[in-house]
């Protein structure tokens, strides 16, 4: 049974709250993500997004631009239609995780400086810093193979997961 429009909009709001709280995105950007994840058709114009989400075209423009820069949403055109459409960029989500892994390298450089500063301090003082660095080193070694397996899975599964 197909979901109702109200259920779909409620879902978009739930996604918005998640991205606002956990990723620091503006709520409207989260609504755009939520709606584009489940809307039919998958491609939506700025006007459709504004009307459905109860937002101004200016806020939709700002949000879609931000989401495109993050690689999560892409701009598309449809044959015979001069309007611009937006849809979820499936590869962008995996790429976003890889970009966050690059940030792990950066924080490890900072943590290594901290380890150097505390090299002669008691182990108890160094422990907090070493525990955090250990977590990031683990992520740096474990996540790339996991993401590679995910990409391989998507290739063999026809791109659907």
Structure tokens at 1: 């049974």
Question: Residue 76's Cα: distance from chain center in Å?
Answer: 19
Treating both helix axes as pointing N-terminal to C-terminal, what angle do 57-69 and 27-38 enclose, rounded to 10 degrees? 80
Span 85-110, average pLDDT: 87
- For 115, half-sphere exposure in the C-beta direction (CA atoms, 13 angstrom radius) is 13
Mean pLDDT (the chain, rounded): 91
98-127 burial, b at 16+ Cβ within 10 Å, e below that, comes to eeeeeeeeeebeebeeeeeebeeeeeeebe
In the structure, what pLDDT confidence band is assigned to residue 147 with cuts at 50, 70 and 90? confident
Structure tokens at 87: 């849809």
Quick check: 138 pLDDT over 60? Answer: yes
Least confident of 19-33, 60-74, 94-108, 135-149: 94-108
Radius of gyration (Cα) for the chain, nearest Å?
A: 20
In the structure, what pLDDT confidence band is assigned to residue 161 with cuts at 50, 70 and 90? very low
Span 121-139, average pLDDT: 93
pLDDT digits (tens, 9 = 90+) for 36-92: 999 999 999 999 999 999 999 999 999 999 999 999 999 999 999 999 999 999 888
Count CB-CB contacts under 10 A for residue 60.
Answer: 25
């Amino acid at each position: 049974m197909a979901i109702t429009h109200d259920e779909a909009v409620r879902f978009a709001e739930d996604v918005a709250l998640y991205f606002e709280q956990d990723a620091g995105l503006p709520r409207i950007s989260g609504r755009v993500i939520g709606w584009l994840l489940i809307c039919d058709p998958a491609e939506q114009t700025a006007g459709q997004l504004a009307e459905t989400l109860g937002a101004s075209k200016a806020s939709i423009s700002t949000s879609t631009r931000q989401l495109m820069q993050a690689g999560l949403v892409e701009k598309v055109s449809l044959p015979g239609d001069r309007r611009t459409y937006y849809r979820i960029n499936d590869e962008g989500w995996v790429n976003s995780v890889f970009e966050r892994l690059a940030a792990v390298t950066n924080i490890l450089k900072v943590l290594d400086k901290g380890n150097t500063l505390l090299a002669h301090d008691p182990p108890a003082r160094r422990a907090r810093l070493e525990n955090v660095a250990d977590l990031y080193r683990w992520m740096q070694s474990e996540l790339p193979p996991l993401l590679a397996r995910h990409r391989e899975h998507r290739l063999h599964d026809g791109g659907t997961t």
